[in-house]
Amino acid sequence: MQRDKTIKRKLFNYTWPIFIESVLLSFLGSMDVFMLGKFSDNAVAAVGVSNQIIWMFSLMFGIITSGTSILTAQYIGANKKNKSSNNDNIIRLCGVSICFNTLIGIFCSGLVVVGSTVMLKMLNTSEEILGIGKEYLVIVGGFIFTQSILQTFTAILRPHGYTKVCMYVTLIMNITNVICNYIFIFGKFGVPELGAVGAAIGTSTSRIIGMIILGIVLYVKILRGNSLKCIKVSPEDDLKNILAIGIPAAGEQISYNLSQLVITSFINMISINAMATKSYAMNLISFAYIFSTSLGQGTSILVGQLVGEDKNDEALNIGINSIKKSILVSVLISGVFALFGSRLMSLFSNNAVIIEMGALVLIIDVFLEPGRSINLVGINSLRAAGDVKFPVYIGIISMWIFGVGLAYILGIQFKLGLIGMWIAFAIDEWFRGILVYNRWKKRRWQGKAFTNEVEADAC
């Protein structure tokens, strides 16, 4: 009983700072949309399309960060089991993940800057918003390498328990972004009115500041004078281990975002109003599943540590309990959004078509969120336990059959527009959610922890 209370308290201590951080990150994106909405609906639509591309590249960084986070948590648990204070493996992981994600980030920055126009046209972006989208994409994409480094620092710090630090840094980023947006979007204090370009400047500046602060914290709290050791070690084995976990773990997210890019092109085929509605609605809906996202991340840290300690029963129970809690909270929040849908949408836009369409989307989303909650918590738990391939397999099948294929049939062929697409999204989430929950409950993830392989090799 005392052990259960300790585990639940530990989960709470991991989760609440991640939750606050996630809320702040949602505000970070929402403030761009909210403030641009006062400037121009076209600017919002352009930024919405551009962010689909940015998010796609951000998920590529997850190949390294997912592997780093899972391995770090499992090593921390294994050290507890073996009563070892040797953290050489963790120090090496820091060096390898930071170096390689920095290189990937720089490459992606160059690719976005050079290919921005082509990428936007591939998404059927209207000529009316193409120029705005390109300006935004070149600036934010040009500095996307800062996001790759920022994500890596966070992936290392969180499993060590520094979730509060990440939360405070995100708060600083939020404040920076709002101030920069106010100055550059609307042209204050003698600065010209820049619109979407101003939002891009605010986003990039806040990420640079966050990267610098977290880098200092990582050096002081984790490396503890071992930075040269990180650089000198041979990275081959560590990189192989990171990729063995990171590629499948990131594969599901990459598949999801690729499907979203295709869906964005479908929505662009409908109308600019539909694209703007999706941008506004998603900024609201992100708050409905933000608890599930945070609980999923907190649970993954704890599951990784418990699996590393060979405490699989405790890992199983904490995963199931987290799924139940996430479903309850997400339904309550999405229900409130559906109840006040028109009023909430009117905060973003005065366009009656957008408000009506967005209100209907928020109603359908109430039925979508339970499935999404299972996926956000369940998939994170499976990954943390080392079962990283299964989510990719079901993700590819479900997303492309239901999330893309059915969305096209309902939205375009049956002319149900954005509403039909949202129904397809709900079916996709529920199909995957049922499979993920059964996988977790039946313990198909047991014996897949990376630390088991390390111990076997050591024997």
Give the residue among 308, 300, 271 at the shortest CA–CA distance from 417: 271
Mean pLDDT of 244-266: 80
The tens digit of pLDDT for each residue in 87-125 reads: 677 787 788 888 889 999 999 999 999 998 898 888 878
Q: How far apart are CA 201 and CA 377, in angstroms?
A: 34
Q: How far apart are CA 452 and CA 454, in angstroms?
A: 5
The tens digit of pLDDT for each residue in 19-71 reads: 888 888 777 666 777 777 777 778 888 888 888 788 778 878 888 888 888 88
* N- to C-terminal Cα separation, the chain: 34
Mean pLDDT of 226-255: 70
The tens digit of pLDDT for each residue in 368-381 reads: 999 999 999 999 99
- Residue 288: pLDDT band (50, 70, 90) is confident
Burial class (CB in 10 A: 0-12, 13-18, 19+), 150: buried
Please determine, for residue 228, whether its predicted confidence score (pLDDT) is greater than 60.
Answer: no
Mean pLDDT of 387-394: 88
Mean pLDDT of 400-422: 94
Q: Is 418 helix (H, G, I), strand (E, B) or coil?
A: helix
Indicate the Cα dihedral angle 156, 162, 167, 169, nearest 10°.
Answer: -70
More confident residue, 286 or 299: 299
Query: Got the DSSP string for 289-314?
Result: SHHHHHHHHHHHHHHHHHHHTT-HHH
At residue 355, the pLDDT reads 94
Mean pLDDT of 165-175: 91
Please determine, for residue 253, whether its predicted confidence score (pLDDT) is greater than 90.
Answer: no
For the chain, how are helix, strand and coil distributed in percent, rounded to 5?
A: 85, 0, 15
At residue 408, the pLDDT reads 96
Task: Pick the range with the lowest mean pLDDT from 239-253, 301-315, 434-448.
Answer: 239-253
- Residue 459: pLDDT band (50, 70, 90) is very low
Query: Got the DSSP string for 76-137?
Result: HHHHHHHT----HHHHHHHHHHHHHHHHHHHHHHHHHHHHHHHHHHHTT--HHHHHHHHHHH
At residue 357, the pLDDT reads 95
Q: How far apart are CA 231 and CA 253, in angstroms?
A: 30
The tens digit of pLDDT for each residue in 177-210 reads: 889 988 988 888 888 888 888 989 998 999 999 9
At residue 85, the pLDDT reads 55
**Average pLDDT, rounded, for the chain:** 86
Please determine, for residue 8, whether its predicted confidence score (pLDDT) is greater than 70.
Answer: yes
Mean pLDDT of 376-399: 90
Cβ(306)–Cβ(317) under 8 Å? no
Q: Which residue has the tokens 């989510």?
A: 391
At residue 31, the pLDDT reads 73
Q: How far apart are CA 174 and CA 321, in angstroms?
A: 32
Please determine, for residue 259, whether its predicted confidence score (pLDDT) is greater than 90.
Answer: no
Please determine, for residue 271, whether its predicted confidence score (pLDDT) is greater than 70.
Answer: yes
What is the 3-class SS of 25-51, one letter each residue?
HHHHHHHHHHHHHCCCHHHHHHHHHHH
Q: Which residue has the tokens 């028109």?
A: 342
Cβ(290)–Cβ(23) under 8 Å? yes
Q: How far apart are CA 17 and CA 163, in angstroms?
A: 6
Please determine, for residue 296, whether its predicted confidence score (pLDDT) is greater than 70.
Answer: yes
Q: Which residue has the tokens 């090496």?
A: 92
Please determine, for residue 274, whether its predicted confidence score (pLDDT) is greater than 80.
Answer: yes
- Residue 456: pLDDT band (50, 70, 90) is very low
DSSP class of residue 287 equals: T
